[in-house]
Chains A and B, each alone.
Chain A
Amino acid sequence: MNDIKNILLVGVGGQGVLTASEILSEALMLEGFDVKKAEVHGMSQRGGSVNSHLRYGRKVYSPLIEEGKADIIFSFELVEALRFSKYLKEEGFIVCSNEKIIPNSVYFSQVKYPKDPAGALKTAFGKKFYLIDAVNIARELGNVRFANVVLLGTVSHLMKISDTSMKKAVESMVPPKYVTGNLNAFEKGKELAR
C-alpha cells in the first residue's frame, strides 16, 4: 500500500485545474502506473472551488485521497491551498501559484479573504511550501496560458516523474503551435523546484 502516491490539485473553476490533472495522469499512465483520477463536474462552470484527486502506484483501490495523506498539494490559488492544506502529509509539499481570486461571498459575510495567505502558508509549511509566480513567469515566456505548465514542471520534478512521459503528455494535450512554448515553461518550472 505504501507505494501509492497522492497528488491533490485544487483551484477555482476556469483556472485549468482539470486540464493539468489530465496531463499528469496521462504521463503517469505512460510511466506504467495504475492511475486513478477523481473529480466532480456539473455544477458551476466558472468561479467555484474545484479539486482533482490523483493517485498512482502498483495497484490503486480508492480514487479519493484521505486527509493527511497527500504527497503534494498542487494549488492554483492561495486560499484554496489553505483550504485543502489538511490533506497534506507530514513530509509533503505544497506547490502554489501566486494568485488571489476573491470570491464575491466575502462582501456578504463576516468571513473575509485573508490578508496574507502566502505568509500564512510560509509560516505553517516553511520550506515545504513552493510559491511560484507562474503567471508572471509565463508572461515573460510569451503567453500567460503557459502558467499551468510552469507549475506542472515544479510538481513533476518534486514527484520525480520522468521528463519523457511528461513531455509526451504535454505534447498530446496542447495545440501544436503552443508545444514549444509549453515545453519551455515546463523546463522553467523544473528549475524552480531545484
Chain B
Amino acid sequence: MKKMLSGNEAVARGFYEYGGKVAVAYPGTPSTEILENMVQYKEKVKSQWSPNEKVALEVGIGASFGGARTLVAMKHVGVNVAADPLLTVTYSGIKGGFVLISADDPGMHSSQNEQDNRYYAKFAKMPLLEPSDSQECKDFVGLALEISERFDTPVMLRTTTRISHTKTVVQLKERSEKEGLTGFERNPSKYVMVPANAKKRHPVVEERTLRLAEEAEKTEINRIEMKNNEIGIITSGIAYQYVKEAFPEASVLKLGMSFPLPMKMIAEFAARVKKLYIVEELEPFIEEMIKAAGIPCTGKAIVPRCGELNVDIVRQALSEISHAPQGEEKADTALLPVRPPVLCPGCPHRGVFYTLNKLKAVVTGDIGCYTLGVQPPLSAMDSTIAMGASIGVNIGLEKALGLDFSRQSVAVIGDSTFMHSGVTGLMDAVYNKGSNTVIILDNRITAMTGRQENPGTGYTLMGEETKEVDLEALAKAIGVEHVRKVDSYDLKALKEVIKEEMERPEVSVVITYNPCMLIRRMNFAEKKYKVNEDKCINCGLCLKVGCPAVVKNEDETKSHIVESLCTGCSVCAQVCPKDAIELV
C-alpha cells in the first residue's frame, strides 16, 4: 500500500515495521511528529516524552541494554543537551538496535541556531545516515537498526526540516519482529564505563569505525549515478534532490551513509569525472574529509554555508557549469506588511509581557511560544540563548551589576522549559543567595511544538492520566520562600505581584497560570468581546496588547474586534481607558 507520509511519519512507520519497541523524545521542531505518530503503534511500541533530551537518551540506552530495538528523537540543539551520555554510549555500545534521530533545522525556521549535527556523528564515532525523502526515512530506520546491532553501536539518522516536514509517497510493509534480543545480561566491562573499562573500549570503537568504513563501500545506499564524465557531484540528504533537478545530466555520487565515508568509492568517482563538486547544506562536513584524503574538489568555496539550499541556489552556485544568469532582479514586494509568528488570540502569555513592558523590566527570556514576546508591540525580552538559560543569565547579570539591577529584572520561563532545564538554575539562584525574580509561565502544555504533554500536565504521550509536578511545591522544596500564583489574564494582579517580587531582595517565583487556548481537551467558555463605537476614542491602546483579533475598522476611526478570532480573554478590555470593549 502507498501513502503520503512526512519524513517524521515515515521514521515512525519504519520503526514500527522494523520491530521497534521503545521510542523516547523531548519535543522539538522539526522532530516532534515522530513520537506523536508513534502513538498509533502503541500495541507494539512503548513511546514516551521525557522531560529533556538527556533523560530521553538515557531511557533509550536502558531500553537498548534490555534488548529492545530503540529510537530516540530530538531536534539538533537537543543533541547538545544529550551529548554527555551520547559520547559515552558509543564506547559501551548497545544491545537492542539503537537509532538516534537528529532533526536539524537549516534556515532556522524554528530554532536559535543552525548547527550541523553531522559533526556529532564524527565526534561521537557513530555511523551517520542521511535520507533524501520519506521512503528513505522509513528504509534507513530499518538499516540503522540492523547496522546498530551488527556493529554494536548507536547509529545517527540525521534529517533536516525539508525532509522531516515534506510529505512524499511511501510504500508500506507489514511489521516484522526482531527475535533473540531479550533480557539484560550483566556485563560490567561493557556497561560500566569506569576508566579501566573505558580504556579497553576505546580501541574497540576505533576498530569498529574502520569496519564501518568498509561497510560504507558496500552498502547500496551509497551509489554512483553515472551520466556524463565532465561533471561529478557528491551530495547527501535533501541537497541530492536539488542537484538532480538542477543538473539532470551531471554524474552524482549519492551518500546515504556519510560517516564514515566510502573513501575508495569517492576516489574512483573522482577519477571518472573531470571536475568534482561537493554540494551539501550547511557545513563542509563531507568536503573536509575528502580534501583531507587529498582528492581535489570544490564545495563551500561556491556553495553557501548559511541557510537552506534550494534548486535556484544550487544552480547559481555552480553557475560555471549551469550558465545560470546571476543576480536576477526579483519583483519588489517589500512594501507589504510583514506577518511574523505572533502569540495567538487569547494566549495566556500576552498579559504578562504587556505588564513587563509597562514595568520596563529587563527580561532574560527562554525558549517557547513566549519568546515571541520580543516582538513589537510587546517588546519585552532582552535575551534568549538556550533551553533553561533565562535563570542562569539572570543570576549572572545580578552578579555583574548588583541588587539595583536585579530589582529591575526578571527571568521568564515556560512550564515545560522549567522542567526541562530551568529547575537547576533556580537551585543556583537560591543556593548562591540571589535576589532574582523568576516568572514561570504555566500554560499546562509544551505549546510551541504543537501542544505536547509534559510532567506538569497530568497526561502521558500515550494518553494515560498520571501525576502532575506541583511547581509551587517544587520551588518551595528548593528553598524559594516567596512563591506566588497569579491569574495571567488579570492585569492588575500581574502588575502588583510582579512589581513587589522584583523589588524584594530575595529569590521569588511568580507562577502565572492559564492553559494554552489551543489545548483540545480543555472546555473553554464561549465568550466574545466587541467595541462599543460610541465609547471608543480611537486612542489605540488596545492595539498595544498585540492581539491578532484587535484591529481598526475599515476607515480606521475606531478599534474593532474580529469576532471569529476573539477568545474572550479580556486583556484588551482591561487596558481600554474608556471601558469601550464590552462582552457580547
Q: B341–A44 contact, CB under 8 A?
A: yes
Residues in A151-192 with C-beta less than 8 Å from chain B: none
Q: B337–A61 contact, CB under 8 A?
A: no
Determine the residue in chain A with the shortest Cβ distance to B308: A64
Q: B2–A29 contact, CB under 8 A?
A: yes
Pick the contact of A113: B32, B337, B548 (CB < 8 A). Answer: B337
Least Cβ–Cβ distance between B56 and chain A, in angstroms? 18
How does the 8 Å CB contact mask read for B337-378 relative to A, with 1 for contact and 0 for none? 111111011000000000000000000000001001000110
Residues of A in contact with B (beta carbons under 8 Å apart): 1, 12-14, 25-26, 29, 34-49, 60-64, 66-67, 79-80, 82-83, 85-86, 101-109, 111-114
Q: A47–B341 contact, CB under 8 A?
A: yes
The reply on B416 being an interface residue by CB < 8 A is: no
Residues in B283-336 with C-beta less than 8 Å from chain A: 310-312, 330-331, 333, 335-336
Residues in B153-175 with C-beta less than 8 Å from chain A: 161-162, 165-169
Q: B339–A103 contact, CB under 8 A?
A: yes
**Given that A35-B4, A67-B330 are known contacts, is A40 also in contact with B109, CB under 8 Å in the complex?**
yes
Determine the residue in chain A with the shortest Cβ distance to B311: A62
With the chains together, A24 CA to B448 CA distance in Å?
A: 27
Among B336, B448, B551, find the residue whose CB has the most chain A CB atoms closer than 10 A.
B336
Residues of B within 8 A of A111 (CB): 335-338
Residues of B in contact with A (beta carbons under 8 Å apart): 2-4, 29-30, 32, 109-110, 133, 161-162, 165-169, 238, 241-242, 244-245, 248, 310-312, 330-331, 333, 335-342, 344-345, 369, 372, 376-377, 447-450, 518, 540, 543, 546-548, 550-552, 565
Residues of A within 8 A of B248 (CB): 1
Q: A85–B110 contact, CB under 8 A?
A: no
Least Cβ–Cβ distance between A161 and chain B, in angstroms? 15
With the chains together, A125 CA to B555 CA distance in Å?
A: 27
* 21 pairs, A vs B, C-beta closer than 8 Å: A26-B4, A29-B169, A35-B4, A36-B133, A42-B30, A42-B448, A43-B29, A45-B344, A47-B339, A48-B341, A61-B241, A62-B245, A63-B168, A85-B331, A103-B342, A104-B342, A104-B543, A104-B546, A105-B338, A108-B376, A109-B338
Least Cβ–Cβ distance between A189 and chain B, in angstroms? 21
With the chains together, A188 CA to B527 CA distance in Å?
A: 33
Q: B548–A103 contact, CB under 8 A?
A: yes
Q: A105–B339 contact, CB under 8 A?
A: yes
Q: B4–A64 contact, CB under 8 A?
A: no
With the chains together, A14 CA to B564 CA distance in Å?
A: 11
Residues of B within 8 A of A86 (CB): 330-331, 333
With the chains together, A38 CA to B160 CA distance in Å?
A: 12
Among B4, B376, B540, find the residue whose CB has the most chain A CB atoms closer than 10 A.
B4
Residues of B within 8 A of A64 (CB): 162, 310-311
Least Cβ–Cβ distance between B347 and chain A, in angstroms? 9
Least Cβ–Cβ distance between B241 and chain A, in angstroms? 4
Residues of A within 8 A of B244 (CB): 61-62
With the chains together, A60 CA to B311 CA distance in Å?
A: 12
The 7 closest A-B pairs by CB, nearest first: A44-B341, A42-B29, A42-B110, A48-B341, A46-B344, A47-B548, A61-B245
Determine the residue in chain B with the shortest Cβ distance to A113: B337
With the chains together, A60 CA to B550 CA distance in Å?
A: 43
Least Cβ–Cβ distance between A3 and chain B, in angstroms? 13
Least Cβ–Cβ distance between B237 and chain A, in angstroms? 12
Pick the contact of A36: B167, B242, B540, B552 (CB < 8 A). Answer: B167
Q: B377–A38 contact, CB under 8 A?
A: no
With the chains together, A60 CA to B372 CA distance in Å?
A: 36
With the chains together, A114 CA to B333 CA distance in Å?
A: 12
**Given that A38-B166, A64-B310 are known contacts, is A104 also in contact with B336, CB under 8 Å in the complex?**
no
Q: A43–B338 contact, CB under 8 A?
A: no
Beyond the given pairs A39-B166, A44-B342, 13 more chain A to chain B contacts, judged by CB atoms under 8 angstroms and listed by A's residue number, are A14-B565, A38-B165, A39-B165, A40-B161, A42-B29, A42-B450, A47-B342, A62-B310, A63-B238, A66-B310, A66-B311, A104-B546, A109-B338
Determine the residue in chain B with the shortest Cβ distance to A33: B169
With the chains together, A105 CA to B551 CA distance in Å?
A: 10
Residues of B within 8 A of A107 (CB): 377, 540, 543, 552
Residues of A within 8 A of B551 (CB): 102, 104
Determine the residue in chain A with the shortest Cβ distance to B345: A46
Q: B168–A36 contact, CB under 8 A?
A: yes
With the chains together, A180 CA to B506 CA distance in Å?
A: 63
Q: A109–B337 contact, CB under 8 A?
A: yes
